[in-house]
A and B are shown apart, each in its own frame.
Chain A
Amino acid sequence: MGWNTGMKGSATKQAEKKTRALVQPDAKGLQLIAWEANERALFERQYRLIALFAFVVLAVYIVQLWYLQVAKGPYYRTRSENNRIRTETIRSPRGIIFDRNGVPLVENRPAFHLMLVREDIKDAEALNSVLKDISVLTGKSPADLASVLEANKTKRRFEPIRLVSDIDRDTLARIESRRLRLPGVYVEVEPRRGYKFSGTAAHVVGYLGEISEEELKKDAYRDYQSGEYIGKGGVEKSLEKFLRGQSGWRQVEVDALGRHIRSLQERLPIPGRDMWLTLDLDVQREAEECLKGKVGAIVAVAPDSGEIVAMASSPSFDQERFVRGMNAEEWKKFIADTSHPLLNRAVSSAYPPGSTYKPFVAVAALEEGIVSPTSIVSCPGFYPYAGRKYRCWRDTGHGAVDLHRSIVESCDVYFYTVGMKLGVDTIAAYAKMFGLGEPSGVELPSERTGLIPTRDWKLSATGIPWQKGETLSIAIGQGFDQVTPLQAAMAYAALVNGGTLWTPKLVTRIEAADDGDSDVVKPKVRRKLPVRKETLELVKKGLVGVVNEGRGTAHGIALKEVLLAGKTGTAQVVRMGENVNRKAHQRSLAAHERDHAWFVGYGPAEKPEIVVAVIVEHGGHGSSGAAPLAQKVIRKYLEKSHPELRSRDDAGEQPVPEEAD
């Protein structure tokens, strides 16, 4: 830009430019001269023509606008007011959830809502009279109705407000017959959830709730609208995308009073996809019956496929209450309930596994060559370590114990000894191999991971190195150990089916979508365990002994017709002192400090068809508090394939001889 130095005013500018062109008549200069001389005048004329063209066209537009907006304005104004198109959303019915035999656990029923469009009501007086009529027809107090209007004040006047939701059929009939006298009022139909067996499998099925403001902001719910109902728990939540379907819309032409004149266009909703769960309603109900009045969970799985046949958690809740809607008072009470009825204890609670952990320690010991089936450990009733006595559950001791007896009689001292030899990390490696302390991948929300401690874990979590004495409590499933009932069931399933760890399967089939999605859900193997068959057979023999040998800890639940097997367990809630009398100790404890009772069992022992894990919170001993429940559930399941079980009632129930761990 060297050329511009010395330029001052615009007058000199012109002059110098000409000078330059004359002084330096290079090619570019010549072109510029030609441009100035010949073309500029022509082009100027052409621009004027273009501007004129634009002017004429736009003038025509102004005339047309005058015609439309001023001359015919009142006509179009009336037309826009009288002849209006409303777009209504048509909600899609959610997919139905069946049990494995096709019994519907959740269905849809039509719900009728009374809607009001303020714009269609002339003035406040007319609104008042409409509200009064509605109050008489529905039995709602005028104050309630007014508060609904107040809550929707920010909505625009043409937007419908849901004045009364879910009116019954009598009210519906009364309103329909008076529709013409109620301007701005119409009835909207919406599919709602209906429960034939409300409260059954409530935790697995889940419940619906209105989408919250926070959820609306999330990416997962980007095409949702406020006021929509979404799954808030169970498969309703985890499989929302299949169950929801796609809502449609309808354009309706309405008159000045908001009455439908005709439907213009519509897109029908795509219903949600139906779903068949692996649950068996009969077994599920039996499990829930067993837990009645108790706090705990029962999980029944098929060991040959990982299918969850029953999953009960107690206390449960009534899903109907969520459909009807709770008022603030009810909701507060519900949430404040210290027994947490919404919590699915089968997957969202973790407990120390107690002695149900011992078979996995036994597997570890056999696989690592720490013990042979015949090696003997002497149990005097305690294990001395670092100047302390670690007690066996049986104060008098078990004497000389081999592997089989250690499982059958659940000898703590045997596992203290073996555990110290294995070390905490080896035990943890085997436990994790069986899926303990790991998310199982079940299709349910908020699954707990549980915990199987290792040295590294303790150091990083607490900053304190592992104390060797802590391995003692780990070896018998106390202390840091935490597993969910579902994990326990899946681990036992792997133990008894020859070493296949399944991903828990909750859904057998999802109705095929139009785009031809595969509809059958195949069982998924999580891993094949690298454990010798002989090891598993030895441990299984021990588990059979637990139920069927005279000194077995769950001797009381043996059935004549079918060979059952399993393992009892007791999860300590409060640590017991060294020299305290066991029974007196438990009696002295308040209810919420008593031990949790565990039992994981299966049957028939020769070819297991069902594995059941039971936990009863503060239920005391596994043998008395949990094992009988597991027996009932196994029996219920086996009744179908073993008719001989069906004829006799309560035959298997004998008084439990001894409270054993």
Chain B
Amino acid sequence: MRGNNRSRRRRIKVMMDRRLVENFDWSIVFLFFAISCLGLVSLYSALYTQIQIHPTRNLFVKQLIWFALGCLIFLATLFVDYHKLKKLAPWIYAATLLALAVVLIVGDGIKGSRRWLNIAGFNLQPSEFMKLALVLQLARMFSSQDVEPYPPLRQLIPAAGISLAPALLIVVEPDLGTSLCLLAVAFTMVFVLGIRWRYLLVITLVGLLSVYPLWHYGLKEYQRERIRTVLAPERDPMGSGYHTIQSKVAVGSGMMWGKGFLNGTQNKLRFLPEKHTDFIFSVWAEEWGFWGCSVMIALFFLFICASLRVAGRAKDRFGMLLVVGLTALVMWQALINIGMVIGLLPVVGITLPFVSYGGSSLLTLCAAVGLIENVSMRRYAFRPS
């Protein structure tokens, strides 16, 4: 009882520590809330029909609950020094990897893919949590004293291994988007450490050479179709080009100032089945136009810059790598998703961070923001050794 009290007091003291508060990066929190608010506005519009039918029981209300939970998780992640996570990282990684394997066996299938795990009535997506777990584990591996800048191949191979294992499990689900996202995040973390030119050259060469076999044997027909569609969407307007064309019509019809809140016609005519998840940006673009899109994109860019600044000021390499990985997570998802909605990238299932509907994704992102903030707060706060 007394011990408990003391530890609580100590925790409060940690929180109250002046420098922890001083180093709290308000811009990150502001940007996180700003993007989330725009996200909720878009989501309200995308789900408006549903909200009218069921005012109390709809996905929007559900997302609000997720958001509240996410804020709690954000706060919770502030309290624990991120160095503690360094010790836990392998366990978190292993547990999430196990969950990914389990989901393949017993997961709930939605639209032909097995991504969801039903725990106590909540549908959770282990692949979302894997993003965090992988970043933690990679940051731990690369922060070891043996790893020098411009690491040699033998130090990169284990990292490649722990990135590829979940990526493969997720590709089988099938969820190509998340899988690619994981690899992109891992690559970014390696990149920060410094990557030797010859490795980059080899990767590019291997990539180029594998295009042909991948195209013919690695991809499924519908995936090939989507890539062809980006190059020429009009070739099959009712089939695979349908999403891209309708999304472009939605975005384009927003014009300079948009059609106004709740006035999007492409949105409300339910032309896109994924409008509240993958295509949420098109809802925003239609109703708020070019200026709205510019604001959203600027906010994402500022968020990336602010997070990278935190990385630059981090106390140690683990913190730095952790923040870079988490930033990369938000960055790659935003870049791929927006690129897909405006017709520059093929349609892969990747959500827009903080904006798209999805509980697991939102919780993961809130934890990520919390961790970035955590590193920022503790950039000068040393523990006695």
Measured CB to CB, the residues of A under 8 A from B are: 1-4, 7, 13, 17, 20, 24, 26, 28, 31-32, 35, 38-40, 42-44, 46-47, 49-51, 54-55, 57-58, 60-62, 64-66, 68-70, 72-77, 79-81, 83-87, 156, 158, 216-217, 222, 225-226, 251, 264
Contact = CB atoms under 8 A, between A and B. Distances in A.
Interface string B241-277: 0000010111111111000000001101111000000
Interface size class of B (residues with CB under 8 A): 35 or more
A29 to B, nearest CB: 8
B300 A64 contact: no
The 10 closest A-B pairs by CB, nearest first: A76-B252, A80-B253, A73-B255, A68-B252, A69-B290, A76-B253, A47-B308, A77-B253, A46-B192, A85-B271
Given A32-B316, A69-B252, A158 B294 contact: no
B342 A68 contact: yes
B249 A76 contact: yes
B371 to A, nearest CB: 17
B295 to A, nearest CB: 11
Nearest to B256: A70
A87 B270 contact: yes
A50 B250 CA distance: 31
Nearest to A76: B252
Given A42-B149, A76-B248, A76-B249, A50 B188 contact: yes
Which label, helix, strand, loop or mixed, suits the secondary structure of the A interface? helix
A539 B263 CA distance: 78
10 contacts: A1-B384, A20-B382, A42-B194, A43-B193, A47-B311, A50-B188, A51-B308, A58-B297, A83-B249, A87-B269
A81 B192 contact: no
B301 A85 contact: no
A186 to B, nearest CB: 16
A61 B342 CA distance: 8
B312 A44 contact: yes
Given A46-B192, A54-B335, A158-B268, A72 B252 contact: yes
Contact of A43 (B305, B312, B328, B338): B312
B161 to A, nearest CB: 23
Contacts of B327: 50
Contact of B317 (A7, A20, A35, A69): A35
Nearest to A24: B385
Interface in B6-61: 13-14, 17, 19, 53-54, 56-57
A10 to B, nearest CB: 9
A13 B270 contact: no
B293 interface: yes
A176 B382 CA distance: 82
B253 A79 contact: yes
A157 to B, nearest CB: 10
A46 B290 CA distance: 31
Given A35-B316, A43-B320, A86-B269, A226 B335 contact: no
A20 B382 CA distance: 11
Given A69-B289, A79-B253, A60 B238 contact: no
A336 B19 CA distance: 76
Contacts of A217: 56
B355 interface: no
A74 B252 CA distance: 8
Contacts of A46: 191-194
B238 A64 contact: no
B270 to A, nearest CB: 5
Contact of B290 (A1, A70, A156, A225): A70
B380 interface: yes
